[in-house]
Every structure is written in C-alpha cells, then in structure tokens.
Amino acid sequence: MNKLILLVLCFSVLPVQGFSIEKTNVKIGCVDVKSVFDSCVLAQLIMSNLQMEIQSWQASLSQKEQEIANLEKEFQVKEVIFSEREKKERQGVIANKKTALKYEVTSAQQEFLAKQSRATEYILKRIRSVIANVAKEEGFVLILDKQNVLYGAGLIDLTGEIVKKFNKAGNKNS
C-alpha cells in the first residue's frame, strides 16, 4: 500500500516538473497478472491436479460419513436389544468416529490451502520472472499490475506477450 501511495505521489509530481512520458523515451507497461495466471498452462495443470486431489479426499471422507451414518442407523434399529453398557460403547464408537472425521476434514482443508498457497506463490514467482525478463529485453522502466492502475496514458499492455512467453517458458521447463 505504501508503495502504491509513493508511486501515485511520484506520478502526480512529475507533470508539475515538466516531465511527460510521451516526450521521453521512458517505457512504462502494465500486465494483468490475474489474467496471466488464469491463462497460463502451468497454473491450469497445477490447479487441475489439486482439484483431482480434492475429489479424492472428498470421496474418502464421503465413504467415512456413510460408515458413520450406517453405524447410527444400526444403533437406532438395535437400540432396544442392547444393554446399557453396549449402548454406551456403541455411542462412544460413533462419537469417536465423528470426532476423527471432523479432525480429518479440518486437516484435509488445511493441507489443501497450504498446497494451493505454495502453488500460487510458485506460479506468481515465475510470472514475475518472465515480466522482469520482458522489461529488461524491451527497455521498460516500470511495469505495473493493470488491476491497480486507475489511469495510464502511454502505458503499454504486455499481458498477451507475458502469457505467450510464460507458456513457452513453461513448456521448456516442464
């Protein structure tokens, strides 16, 4: 946030000093990082793998939920023939399985979020690297995230080029 404020201040002071982007050879670009992320083949592949993992977890958890439901149903049907001791034992087993399932659901969610976060950071790091390389190769002084730009006369949108180069680089590294 402080960087954004500093950037806005810099651009608001520059015109006062007689500086104009159009009158100089300063190249400033912008990239829609979210669009690059959504369009990159690597991100789609990683997120697809995570989705398959989630589906596998969900199937496993559904099976355990069904097992608990079957135990509860069996308990209700046979409750009248169980002794008090047997009722308490069966209720304890059901309660323990429910507790274990809740713990497993929470653990699975946390693990998924951690994997998703690591994958996102990895992809964003690679996107930043491609952006930096394009900036150096093409002589850009500054590249902004398009989603944070309110107005930018003379900005060059590099989103499409970054997507192409990222996907090309991803194919070489995959």
What residues does 12 pair with on adjacent strands?
none
Q: What is the pLDDT of residue 24?
A: 60
Provide the 3-class DSSP secondary structure of residue 141.
coil
Find tokens 């592949």 and name the residue.
45
Q: What is the pLDDT of residue 153?
A: 79
Find tokens 């355990």 and name the residue.
64
Encoded amino acid at 82, one letter: F
Q: How many CB atoms lie within 10 A of CB 94?
A: 16
More confident residue, 81 or 12: 81
61 to 40, 64, 109, 113, 142: CA distances (angstroms): 31, 5, 12, 17, 49
**List of domains in the chain:** 18-173 (3.30.910.20)
Q: Which of 146, 148, 166 is nearest to 156 (CA)?
A: 146
User: What is the torsion angle, in degrees rounded to the nearest 10, for the CA atoms of residue 87, residue 89, residue 94 and residue 98?
Assistant: 140
Residue 25 has pLDDT above 70, yes or no: yes
Q: What's the predicted TM-score (pTM) here?
A: 0.68
Average pLDDT over residues 41-52: 90
More confident residue, 134 or 168: 134
Q: What is the pLDDT of residue 18?
A: 41
What residues does 30 pair with on adjacent strands?
144, 157
Q: What is the pLDDT of residue 6?
A: 40
DSSP string for 73-95: HHHHHHGGGS-HHHHHHHHHHHH
**Per-residue pLDDT tens digits for 60-83:** 999 999 999 999 999 898 888 888
